[in-house]
Each structure stands twice: as C-alpha cells, then as structure tokens.
Chains A and B, each alone.
Chain A
Amino acid sequence: MALNWTRFASPASFYPLAGTMIPWFGWGAAVLTAIGLWLGFAVAPTDFQQGEVYRIIFIHVPSAWMSMFLYVVMAFWGALLLGFNTRLSGMMAQAIAPTGALMTFVALWTGALWGRPTWGTYWAWDARMTSELILLFLYFGIIALRQAIGEPRRADRACAVLSLVGVVNIPIIYYSVKWWNTLHQGASVKATGASMETTMLAGMLVMSFAFWFYAIAVVLVRVRAIMLERERGAAWVAGLPEVNR
C-alpha cells in the first residue's frame, strides 16, 4: 500500500481521520453484538455438561481476549513513543488503558459469575484467574502513574516503560492454562481447528470482533478528547468547528 502513514502521525491530521472512523466502528460494533448475542443465546445449542450457564462465555472469552490484546497494543504504542517520540503514540497509549482495564474487569466479573454454578465458587486462585487479576492491577498501576505525573511528556514515557515491563505478564496469562493443570479448560480455539461446536465458535468469534470494534471506537473517541486537551494551544484546535461553537 502506497499510503503514507507518517502523514497521520501528527494529531492535527489524525483528529479528523479518527472522527470519520468512529461511526463506522461504533455501528459495526452494535451490529456485530446483535448478531453475536443472537448466535450465542438463541442459536447455539445447550451444552450437555454445563446447561445454559455456559452462554456467559460469549461475553467472558471475548472480553478476556480483548483485555490481553489491548495491553499488547498499548505496550506497542509505548514502544513507538520511546523509539520515535511522536506525540500521537503517547496519546494512543493513554487512550487505550481505561478500555483495557474495563475489559479485564468484565472478564473477571463474568468469570466469577460463570464459576459459581460451574465449579461451585466465585473465585479460585488458579493460574489464569490470578494472572488476569494481575493484569487488572497492571492497568490500574499505569493509570495511577499517569495521574501522579502531571507533566504529559514525562507521564507518556514513564507509562510506556511500565507497560513494556508488564507485557511479560501476557504470555503468562495466555499459556498459564497449558503450563499448569488448573480449573480452566485447555485452549479450545486453536489456530488449526476448533474442538467446540461450530455455532458456539461462530458466536464467540463474532462477539470478539464486536468487542474489538467497540474498543476501537471508544479509544478513538477518547484519543480525540485527549488531543483537544493536550494541544489546546495549537492553531489547528482553535480552528475546529466544535471548539468555536
């Protein structure tokens, strides 16, 4: 693709681009959620072991995937910031953290709600749950560090370092069910094929995309707000219609 990506590295050009992208991803998320929930709650058959309760995986698994994926993306933007020092990288990392934390929180909550009827307990200190909880605290730590450091440039770079140090936790979460024989079932969605019912799989994948689109839309909205706040002295902000209302 001959598109010149660096053209969008400045907040001034990324702001309108993000603005046009948001409705697409927002509506896309809404549509995919509707389809996914229909697949998950109406179409997919009852699980012979767990009954109806298992259906919570259509929210639990996508949110857990997103929690890990968003952290890696945030760490990636952090690495870009430390390597190339572009303002946008810092803003994107800042925009992702709250959504990542939310996804982690949803994954933990839905996991607890699922665990109660299935294993008899809301919480067990198994490897995956513990490392997901660690992930939540890592997000909190990054958000707290940013709050504590007033100056945006230093905050961006400090949070980038912190998120890169914590990225080591992601493989631990992902592989924890393989390394330790714990309550969580082994990974049932592998790259080569799946060992679960097709409609269940379809529902989970659709919901995953739905969560992904939602995350993109929300992060773009947030990054635009961050841009307005941080660049408020710049000429391009002063010329915006929403600012001049």
Chain B
Amino acid sequence: MLEAHDLAGRRGHAELFAGVGFRLAPGEAIVVTGPNGTGKTTLLRMLAGLSAPAAGEIRLNGKSIAPFSPELRSSVAYAGHLPALKDELTAEENLTSLVHLAGAKATEPSLRAALDAVALGRKRTLPARVLSAGQRRRIGLARLAVLRRPVWVLDEPVTALDSAGVDLLARLVHEHLDRGGVAVLATHQSLGLEPGRVQSLVLGG
C-alpha cells in the first residue's frame, strides 16, 4: 500500500540518508530506528507529505505522490514531535477541532467516547494548558483512533506516555493493523507487535 523507493534526505549541505526503500502491504508496520540526527524525523515528514525527498519516490497504492498531494492529505494521519494542541482550548475542543480539520464529521458523543477511551473523560473540559504532557499526548491518540486513516506516520509516539499510555498506543496500533492499515513508527520502544508484520529500518547504520 505504501512504498518508498531510493529515498534520499538532506539537511542543508549534509546528506542524511540515501537509498532508503521499503514496501508495506496492508496490515504491516515498519519501525524506524537510529541515533539522533540521522534523519528519522526528516524521513517521516517526507512520508507524511510535508517535504520533498532529495531523491527517490514515494508511492501510495501504486501511485507516485508529491508533497501535499490530495491523496496523501486524506489518507495519512501524521503525529509529529509536537502534539498540535492549543493551550487555550479544552481537551474536548482540541479533539473536535483537529477532527474537523481532517475533514471528518464527528458527533459529540463519539468524541466524548474517544476521550473516555484514553482516560481523559473527566478532564475533557480542562484547558490543554493545565494537562500534563502525557495527557496531551493522549488527546493525539484519541485523534488517531477516531480518524481511522489508512496510513499512520508516528514520530516518537511514546514520548511522555506512562506505561498505561504505551499499552494504549500499542493496542491502537494493533487494531489499526488488524483493520488493514499500515504504520510507520520512529521509536525505540517495543510495542509488542508480532514479528511477522513488522519490518525494521535502521538509519545511520
């Protein structure tokens, strides 16, 4: 479903990586690891469609795609380093806003259920400013869960999550793969995914 061919990434004059390629069929995931500064974020941003690769090609469902292409924008759910939350909005308002931004119609009960599912039910009317880093991350997880996009690109998703949060993330990824989605994760933490459906990509090696 998602393929990368011969990708090269550059920052300024320095070449970060070259010749990166992989192929993900529905239900498969790839975990990207490597030391700091080897371009994991750069690679994930390319796959999310935010920046153009210095070389190589990305294909979604067989079709070659460019940054910001409409297919990418409706198929990919990207979670970067920053949780994309507005301090002044409540947890519920943030989730609603992000879900609407993604072009989805969401009913209030379904969003409340999502927040309940990530254990933020009682905190949903609190402004994001007063939530802990882990709680803010969990709003992002709720967003991933409700949007049901086929492609997940997650950059360091376990940041700030406690062990319950990591379990939740692992469960969400499992369910996502079971539904036939694909996932690209940059993380050092094992999420307990079955070896058969996970590929590994090491940068800077």
Instruction: List chain B residues, Cβ under 8 A from A150.
Output: 12
Instruction: List chain A residues, Cβ under 8 A from B12.
Output: 150-151
Near B by CB (< 8 A), chain A positions 117-161 give: 150-151
Instruction: List chain B residues, Cβ under 8 A from A151.
Output: 12
Instruction: List chain A residues, Cβ under 8 A from B13.
Output: 233
- Total chain B interface residues with beta-carbon distance under 8 A: 2
Q: Which residue of A lies closest to B13 (CB)?
A: A233
Interface of B is mostly: loop
Near A by CB (< 8 A), chain B positions 159-175 give: none
A91 to chain B, nearest CB (A): 15
Band of interface residues on A: under 10
In the complex the two chains form, what is the Cα distance from A151 to B51 in whole Å?
14
Q: Which residue of B lies closest to A151 (CB)?
A: B12
In the complex the two chains form, what is the Cα distance from A66 to B12 in whole Å?
34
In the complex the two chains form, what is the Cα distance from A156 to B131 in whole Å?
41
B18 to chain A, nearest CB (A): 14
In the complex the two chains form, what is the Cα distance from A233 to B12 in whole Å?
12
A177 to chain B, nearest CB (A): 43
Q: Which residue of A lies closest to B11 (CB)?
A: A151
Near A by CB (< 8 A), chain B positions 9-31 give: 12-13
In the complex the two chains form, what is the Cα distance from A233 to B54 in whole Å?
15
In the complex the two chains form, what is the Cα distance from A150 to B12 in whole Å?
9
Instruction: List chain B residues, Cβ under 8 A from A233.
Output: 13
Near B by CB (< 8 A), chain A positions 219-234 give: 233
In the complex the two chains form, what is the Cα distance from A233 to B10 in whole Å?
13
Q: Which residue of A lies closest to B15 (CB)?
A: A233
In the complex the two chains form, what is the Cα distance from A233 to B15 in whole Å?
11
Q: Which residue of A lies closest to B10 (CB)?
A: A153
In the complex the two chains form, what is the Cα distance from A114 to B123 in whole Å?
73
In the complex the two chains form, what is the Cα distance from A129 to B13 in whole Å?
42
B204 to chain A, nearest CB (A): 19
In the complex the two chains form, what is the Cα distance from A233 to B13 in whole Å?
8
A89 to chain B, nearest CB (A): 16
In the complex the two chains form, what is the Cα distance from A150 to B11 in whole Å?
11
In the complex the two chains form, what is the Cα distance from A151 to B13 in whole Å?
9
In the complex the two chains form, what is the Cα distance from A151 to B54 in whole Å?
14
In the complex the two chains form, what is the Cα distance from A151 to B12 in whole Å?
6
In the complex the two chains form, what is the Cα distance from A150 to B13 in whole Å?
11
Q: Which residue of A lies closest to B14 (CB)?
A: A233
In the complex the two chains form, what is the Cα distance from A236 to B12 in whole Å?
19
Q: Mark A210-245, 1 if CB is under 8 A from B, else 0.
A: 000000000000000000000001000000000000
Q: Which residue of B lies closest to A231 (CB)?
A: B13
Q: List 3 A–B pairs whose Cβ atoms lie within 8 Å, in order of A's numbering.
A: A150-B12, A151-B12, A233-B13
**Which residues in B have some Cβ–Cβ distance to A below 8 Å?**
12-13
**Which residues in A have some Cβ–Cβ distance to B below 8 Å?**
150-151, 233
3 nearest A-B pairs in the assembled complex, by CB-CB distance: A151-B12, A233-B13, A150-B12
